[in-house]
Amino acid sequence: MKILGRHLIAELSDCPSEVLNDSAILEEVMKEAARISGATVVDSTFHRYSPQGLSGIVVIAESHISVHTWPEYGYAAIDCFTCGTSVDPWKALEYLKSALKSRSMAVSEIKRGIPSEMDEVIAHKTYMNAEPVSFDR
């Protein structure tokens, strides 16, 4: 695969329900997770369900971090999709595990990109037919 990004899918459980049901706290925690990972926050939106639960997304210049909560089960589903090599989605997840007071976290990592016979990280193009941008640190 010609890898453009990483997508971490996390299951956080044993979280206090009050944390998972407070949209103001959850939005700030998600934005801070993005900053800690090295991402650039572009925008965010959160929706509260009745009688409980939240869905939210923090759009980052490098893709997105989203959350869906089930306070009645102490559960949060989190996606961290980041492109490039300058952002570390694992840092975001470790922060979220701590901030949401989760006692258990399971994570799957998926490489996202263009199917090919061998794995290689490729750079984003700034515009059609432009030269790739280097991600060397």
- Residues designated as active site: 63, 68, 83
Asked, for residue 132, whether it belongs to a domain, the answer is: no
Element (H, E) at 121: strand 120-121
Q: Is a pLDDT exceeding 80 seen at residue 127?
A: no
Residue 44: give its domain's CATH number: 3.60.90.10
The residues pairing with 80 across neighbouring beta strands, listed in sequence order, are: 8, 65
Q: Is a pLDDT exceeding 90 seen at residue 77?
A: yes
Q: Long-range contacts made by residues 48-52, C-beta under 8 angstroms, separation at least 24? A: 48/23, 52/17, 52/21
Predicted pLDDT at 105:
98
Close Cβ partners of 24 (under 8 Å, ≥ 6 residues apart): none
Q: Which of 3-7, 32-36, 95-99 has the lowest mean pLDDT?
A: 3-7
Predicted pLDDT at 20:
97
Asked, for residue 66, whether it belongs to a domain, the answer is: yes
Q: Tell me the per-residue pLDDT of 102-121, one tens digit each, with 9 for 90 and over.
A: 999 999 999 998 888 888 88
Q: How far is CA 81 from CA 63, 73, 78, 89, in A?
A: 6, 25, 10, 7
Asked, for residue 136, whether it belongs to a domain, the answer is: no
Tell me the one-letter amino acid at 55. Answer: S
Average of per-residue pLDDT values in the chain: 90
Asked, for residue 20, whether it belongs to a domain, the answer is: yes
Asked, for residue 117, whether it belongs to a domain, the answer is: yes
What pTM was estimated for this model as a whole? 0.85
Q: Tell me the per-residue pLDDT of 20-62, one tens digit each, with 9 for 90 and over.
A: 999 999 999 999 999 999 999 999 999 999 999 999 999 999 9
| Domain enclosing residue 20, as ranges | 2-121
Number of structural domains found in the chain: 1
Asked, for residue 37, whether it belongs to a domain, the answer is: yes
Asked, for residue 127, whether it belongs to a domain, the answer is: no
The residues pairing with 69 across neighbouring beta strands, listed in sequence order, are: 76
Asked, for residue 131, whether it belongs to a domain, the answer is: no
Predicted pLDDT at 134:
43
